[in-house]
Structure 1
Amino acid sequence: MGKKTKTILLCLLPVQILLVKWASNYPDFIETYYSNGIYPFISKTLRILFGWIPFSMGDILYTALFIFVFRYLYKNWKSIKAKPLTFLKDIGVLLSMVYFLFHFNWGLNYHRYPIATKLGLEREYTQKELTQFIQYLTEKSNSYQFQITGDSISPVHIPYSKKEIFSMTQEGYRELSKTYPEFDYNFSSQKSSIYSIPLTYMGYGGYINPFTNEAQVNGITPRFRLPTVSGHEVGHQLGYSAEDDTNFIGFWVTSVNEDPYFKYAAYSHALGYCLSDLARKDEAKFKEMINQLNPGVQENFREISRFWAEYENPLEPVFKSIFNVFLKANNQQEGIESYNAVVGLIINFHHKYGF
Structure 2
Amino acid sequence: MGQKIKTIIAIALPLQIILVKWVGSYPEFIEKYYSNALYPGISWFLRTLFGWVPFSIGDLFYLALFILAGRYIYIYRKSIKKKPLLFLKDIVVVLSITYFAFHLLWGMNYYRQPITWKLGIEKEYSNDELVTFTQYLAERSNHYQAKITRDSIDPVKIPYSKKEIFKKTKDGYALLKESYPSFEYKKPSLKSSLFSLPLTYMGYGGYLNPFSNEAQVNGITPLYRLPTVSGHEVGHQLGYSAEDATNFIGFLVTVRNEDVYFKYTAYSHALAYCLSDLSRKDDIKFQEIVEQLNPGVKKNFKEVSEFWKQYENPLEPVFKSIFNTFLKANNQQEGIKSYNSVVGLLINYHDKYTF
* TM-superposition CA deviations, 1:105-128 (whole Å, max 9, x none): 000000000101111111111111
Structure 1 counterpart of 2:188, one-letter code: S
1-structure distance, mates of 2:150, 2:57: 42
The CA distance in 2 between the partners of 1:191 and 1:171, in whole Å, is: 15
Aligned equivalents of 1:147, 1:202: Cα separation in 2: 35
CA shift, 1:215, in A, is: 0.2
> Corresponding residue for 1:249?
249
Number of residue pairs aligned between Structure 1 and Structure 2: 355
Question: Which stretches of structure 1, 4 residues or more, deviate above 4 A after TM superposition?
Answer: none
Single out whichever of 102-111 and 3-12 deviates more from structure 2: 3-12
Q: 1:272 — aligned with what?
A: 272
Does residue 23 of structure 2 align to residue 44 of structure 1? no
Match of 2:219 in 1: 219
After superposition, give the CA deviation of every residue in 1:48-73 in whole Å (9 maximum; x if it has no partner).
11111111111101100110011111
Q: Which residue of the partner structure matches residue 164 of structure 1? A: 164
Aligned-partner Cα distance in 2 for 1:57–1:215: 11
Q: In the alignment, is residue 25 of structure 1 matched against residue 25 of structure 2?
A: yes
Q: Counterpart of 1:241 in 2: which secondary structure? A: coil
Aligned to 1:100: 100
Q: Cα deviations across residues 75-94 of structure 1 (Å, max 9, x unaligned)?
A: 11110010111101111111
Question: In the alignment, which residue of structure 1 is the partner of 2:315?
Answer: 315
Distance in 1 (CA, whole Å) between partners of 2:179 and 2:274 is: 27
1:2 and 1:49 mapped to 2: Cα distance? 31
Q: Residue 224 of structure 1: SS of its match in structure 2? A: coil
CA positional deviation for 1:12: 1.2
Query: Matches of 1:110 and 1:89 in 2, distance apart?
Result: 28
How far apart are residue 23 of structure 1 and its match?
1.0
Other-structure match for 1:3: 3
TM-score (norm 2): 0.99
Alignment of 1:168-179 (within 5 A): 168-179=168-179
**Residue 284 of structure 1: how far off its partner (Å):** 2.2
Q: Residue 311 of structure 2 aligns to which amino acid in structure 1?
A: Y
Q: Distance in 2 between matches of 1:250 and 1:277?
A: 19
Instruction: Report what 2:347 is aligned to.
Output: 347
- Residue 239 of structure 2 corresponds to which residue in structure 1? 239
Per the TM alignment, residue 283 of structure 1 is displaced from its structure 2 partner at its CA by 1.8
Offset at residue 132 of structure 1 (A): 0.6
Match of 2:66 in 1: 66
Matched, 1:87 2:87: yes
What residue in structure 1 maps to residue 137 of structure 2? 137
- When the two chains are superposed, the root-mean-square deviation of aligned CA atoms in Å is 0.7
Please list, as runs of the form range in 1=range in 2, the aligned pairs for 1:283-322 lying within 5 A after superposition: 283-322=283-322
What SS class does the counterpart of residue 164 from structure 1 fall into? helix
- Cα distance in 2 for residues equivalent to 1:63 and 1:180: 37
Superimposed CA distance per residue, residues 286-331 of structure 1 (whole angstroms, 9 cap, x where no aligned partner): 1111110110000000001101111111111110000000000000
Q: Which residue of 2 aligns with 1:185?
A: 185
Matched residues in 1 for 2:4 and 2:294: separation?
68
**In 1, Cα distance between the equivalents of 2:219 and 2:287?**
31
User: 1:142-165 CA distances to partner (integer Å, 9 max, x unpaired)?
Assistant: 111111111110100111111111
**CA distances 1:217-242 after superposition (whole Å, capped 9, x unpaired):** 01111101100000000000000000
CA distance in 2, matches of 1:52, 1:4: 40
Instruction: Tell me the CA shift for residue 186 of structure 1.
Output: 1.5
Question: What displacement does 1:281 show?
Answer: 1.1
State the distance in 2 between where 1:264 and 1:178 align: 22
Alignment partner of 1:221: what SS?
coil
The structural deviation recorded for 1:9 is 1.0
Q: Report sequence identity in percent.
A: 69
1:7 offset after TM fit, Å? 1.7
